[in-house]
Structure formats: structure tokens, C-alpha cells
Amino acid sequence: MKIFNMHKFPVFRSFLLLMLFFALSSQFAFADLVSDMTSLQTSVTSICQPLAIIFLIVAGWQKAMGNAQLFILALVGTVVMFAAPQIVSFISTAFGN
């Protein structure tokens, strides 16, 4: 009869690591989610703003060379990136949430 060793299975190891993580974390994970998301949104916007400006400059140059597809995609991407919070609030208001 073969002895069954649980510590050799990767699923069991993952379960032990997850239980160790839960035991060592003393704070609730989602206690301050709104302020964390606001700070994350601010940092992502501050990183993406110069990149969007450079991308729009390159897209304008491509428009001048005759490639209008990249220009339209750059405009749509910039609008979606910087208007995402307003779009989300509009959609959630429209559907009654």
C-alpha cells in the first residue's frame, strides 16, 4: 500500500501559501478600496498623459502623411483614457446604479 504525501502536490502547496497569507495579513483587503482606486487612477493618468501627447503628435504626423486611421484611433484612445471616470459614472447613472 502506497502512502499518500500531501506536501508533494502543487495544489496543496498553493493552499498552504494562501492560508499563510491570510494568517499574516492583519488588515482587511478591501477596507479602503475607494481611496486606493482614486490614488491609482491619479497615478495612471499622470503616467499616461505625456505618452498620450506624444502619441497624438505622432498620429498627427501620420495624418499629414496620409494615414488617417492612426489619427482616428489616437483620438478615440485619448478620449476614452481621459474621460473614463465620466463615462463610467454616466453609464452607472443611466442604468440606475
In a domain, 19, yes or no: no
Q: What is the pLDDT of residue 21?
A: 74
Q: What is the pLDDT of residue 4?
A: 56
State the amino acid at position 90 in one-letter form: F
81 contacts 52 by C-beta, under 8 angstroms: yes
For the ranges 33-37, 48-52, 84-88, the lowest mean pLDDT is seen at 33-37
Average pLDDT of span 75-79: 83
Average pLDDT of span 53-79: 83
State the amino acid at position 11 in one-letter form: V
In a domain, 54, yes or no: yes
48 contacts 81 by C-beta, under 8 angstroms: yes
Which pTM value belongs to this model? 0.46
In a domain, 68, yes or no: yes
In a domain, 70, yes or no: yes
Structural domain for 57, as ranges = 28-94
Q: How many domains does the chain have?
A: 1
In a domain, 13, yes or no: no
Greatest Cα pair distance in the chain:
77
